[in-house]
Structure 1
Amino acid sequence: MRRAFVMKGKRLLWLWLHGLIFFFSLSSLCGKLAASHALFSSGWFFFYGLVLAILLIYAVAWQQIIKRMPLSAAYANKAAAVIWGQLWGLLFFGETITAGKAIGALLIAAGIVLHARASGEALEQEAA
């Protein structure tokens, strides 16, 4: 019973972590949108204000994540922001995803999965 509870809680924590990384990636999107406006214009202030708000919320939530999981596991997953950045570039700015970028994203995803599995095994051993 305890192991099932630990596994469910662990999955939820990983979902929260990746939701937070998605949220963090929005700061880059807003930063790029801010850069498309004249410095100190209302558009610039709006998007730069969003960047600051996102980073403030992210900082508080990140502290809660790392309180509940190993720092090395949480930090290794931050690389997923690169994948989100590629998606934002494609969707909002018409950037192309080259074969090299796609391969790089796949390598990042593979590294995250490998690291998460190793971290998960360590957490299971601690719970047992």
Structure 2
Amino acid sequence: MAKLASGYGFLSTDFLLFYGIEILILAFYAFFWQQIIKHFDLSIAYANRSIALLWSMIWAVIFFQEMVTIKNIIGVIVVIIGTTIVNKEYE
């Protein structure tokens, strides 16, 4: 939503609309994240959170026709593997 808002003039109606939607999305995210950490071990919840990077990259390609570079792919893989390795100690 922030990327969409950036295409409009600062404090214009469309700008405020998209930023308002972004704030709502972040509020939902915060609420659901708190519910997740209430019901799962934090190490498991955090390990699965690293997948958000992958989803962000996928949505950027689908909605904004962003280009994904090999560095982007390697970065996401490194984060996911690193988070998995760190959390293997707690199993």
Given the two structures, how large is their TM-score scaled by the length of structure 2?
0.76
By how many angstroms is 1:104 displaced? 2.0
Pairing 1:55-94 to 2, within 5 Å after superposition: 55-94=26-65
1:100 is aligned to 2:71: yes
Distance 1:37 1:79 in 2: 31
Contiguous gaps of at least 5 residues in structure 2: none
By how many angstroms is 1:113 displaced? 5.1
Aligned to 1:48: 19
By how many angstroms is 1:106 displaced? 2.6
Contiguous gaps of at least 5 residues in structure 1: 1-29, 123-128
C-alpha deviations, 1:101-128, integer Å up to 9, x for none?
A: 1222233344455567x38x83xxxxxx
User: Which one has more relative contact order, counting CA pairs under 8 Å at least 6 apart?
Assistant: 1
By how many angstroms is 1:60 displaced? 1.5
Given the two structures, how large is their TM-score scaled by the length of structure 1?
0.58
Distance 1:92 1:51 in 2: 15
Secondary structure (helix, strand or coil) at the match of 2:67 reads: coil
By how many angstroms is 1:49 displaced? 1.0
CA RMSD in angstroms comes to: 2.4
Identity score, percent? 36
Q: What is the aligned length?
A: 91
